[in-house]
């Protein structure tokens, strides 16, 4: 493999194009995890920050994805920007963000979303919709006239990439696949057959 360009700078460029052109949620990514059993699961998350230290998302710490990451702290993330005919695949270990980062992001959420974080036992069985609505109302009353603090079970994760693949659609299914792999010496780049 040859010396690589900077994959994080390339992601910045592609993400800027996606933000300008993608119809909805350019920050939406499929997040794949696997817990103790090895059974993979995938769901959509919203990336809220990215940079040299990784790709950050926030969630309920009691969710299925958090349980998976507690048992196996590795994950994969996929951005698919259909209007640009591009994908970015990212793999690597996942770390918890610091409390001050989770607090700062939580404060940017809408009040109803903050209250929802208190009301929801994310990924747990729900007997009926009314139970969730009652819990939401109870949280609303509890924090009436006050700032809504971040629940102790709500935090963020950062996927630290050690592999990033940039996929571009090409004619005749001769797609371009650029793979960046991180080592102690930095990034190396190569191509993959489509």
Q: How far apart are CA 180 and CA 1, in angstroms?
A: 9
Given the residues 173, 177, 178, 182, the one annotated as active site:
173
- Tokens representing 55 are 């790709």
CB atoms < 10 A from the CB of 31, how many? 25
Give the helix/strand (H/E) hosting 139: helix 129-142
Contacts of 179 (CB under 8 A, 6+ apart): 163, 164, 165, 189, 190, 191, 192
In 3D space, the residue among 20, 5, 12 whose CA is nearest the CA of residue 55 turns out to be 12
Query: Is 173 labeled as catalytic in the residue annotation?
Result: yes
Cite the active site residues. Answer: 173
């Amino acid at each position: 493999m040859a010396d690589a360009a900077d994959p994080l700078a390339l992601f910045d460029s592609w993400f800027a194009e996606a933000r300008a052109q993608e119809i909805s949620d350019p920050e939406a990514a499929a997040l794949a995890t696997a817990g103790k059993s090895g059974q993979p699961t995938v769901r959509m998350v919203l990336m809220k920050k990215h940079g040299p230290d990784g790709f950050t998302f926030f969630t309920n710490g009691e969710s299925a994805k958090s349980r998976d990451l507690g048992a196996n702290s590795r994950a994969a993330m996929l951005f698919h920007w259909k209007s640009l005919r591009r994908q970015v695949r990212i793999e690597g270990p996942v770390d918890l963000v610091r409390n001050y980062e989770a607090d700062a992001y939580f404060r940017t959420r809408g009040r109803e979303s903050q209250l929802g974080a208190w009301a929801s036992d994310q990924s747990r069985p729900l007997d009926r919709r009314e139970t969730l609505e009652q819990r939401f109302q109870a949280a609303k009353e509890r924090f009436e006239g006050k700032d809504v603090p971040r629940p102790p079970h709500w935090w963020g994760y950062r996927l630290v990439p050690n592999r990033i693949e940039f996929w571009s659609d090409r004619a005749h299914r001769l797609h371009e696949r650029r793979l960046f792999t991180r080592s102690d010496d930095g990034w190396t780049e190569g191509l993959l057959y489509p």
